[in-house]
Amino acid sequence: MISNVLRTLYRDHVNLEDLLKLIENDVERIGIEQSKPDFEMLTLALEYLVDYPDHYHHPTEDLMYSTLVCRAPKLEGEIGVITADHKSLSQLTGSFSDAVACAIDGGPTNSIRKLGREFLRHYRHHMHIEETELFPAAKKYLTQGDWSEIEMMAKIPVDPLFTEHVREAYLALKRRIVNQAQQNRKVPAA
């Protein structure tokens, strides 16, 4: 049986991938003639990544990983790398966000594409490791009592973007994500 905490973490990853696709579409439009990336939407997406994953999702994962290390000490090295990576992701988000803010203020856009691609690659690799190695290990090794304790200690609020109660600031961002998902479904396979 899968715990509510792990179910939430998996759902967050699905939602994050939808957001990363939206960011990727804007990043890839940078520097293309007659194409204007939506820097304000990028800013909003990056603010969300600080607002929810950095403050709630990653700390919940860290709680789970600290318990997992006790149950499966052989994973200590891998868990150490992934928890340190949470700080790296936060720094990458900050650098990318600073570059976008600079472009909004009329600064250069040449670094945004490079930073954006690095950010996307790193975020996706991080989630892949968690989903293929650490989440399954947590499911295997953690007890119901462990999950209850993690759930009690975790402070997971209602997601401000991916729920029916979307925070007003994120409404336009959610509309773009939904529209993109609908367009992706309409594209016929080659």
- The answer to the question of residue 190 being in a domain is no
Confidence of residue 187 (pLDDT cuts 50, 70, 90): low
Q: Does the pLDDT value for residue 136 go beyond 70?
A: yes
Number of domains in the chain: 1
Write the CA distances from 7 to 34, 48, 51, integer angstroms. Answer: 42, 20, 20
- In sequence order, what are the residues at sequence separation of 6 or more whose Cβ sits closer than 8 angstroms to the Cβ of residue 52? 12, 159, 160, 161
Q: What is the CATH number of the domain that holds 114?
A: 1.20.120.520
- The answer to the question of residue 102 being in a domain is yes
Average pLDDT estimate for 135-164 = 91
- Tens of pLDDT, residue by residue over 54-78, are 889 999 999 999 999 999 999 999 9
Q: Is 30 left (phi over 0), alpha (psi -120 to 50) or beta?
A: beta
Are 27 and 37 in contact, with CB atoms under 8 Å apart? yes
- Tens of pLDDT, residue by residue over 170-183, are 787 888 888 877 77
- The answer to the question of residue 42 being in a domain is yes
Can you tell me the distance from the alpha carbon of 129 to that of 126, in angstroms, rounded to the nearest whole number?
5
- The answer to the question of residue 25 being in a domain is yes
Confidence of residue 87 (pLDDT cuts 50, 70, 90): very high
Can you tell me the distance from the alpha carbon of 85 to that of 45, in angstroms, rounded to the nearest whole number?
20
Can you tell me the distance from the alpha carbon of 112 to that of 182, in angstroms, rounded to the nearest whole number?
27
Q: Which domain holds residue 148?
A: 4-185
- The answer to the question of residue 27 being in a domain is yes
- The answer to the question of residue 95 being in a domain is yes
- The answer to the question of residue 103 being in a domain is yes
- The answer to the question of residue 34 being in a domain is yes
Q: What percent of the chain has pLDDT over 70?
A: 95
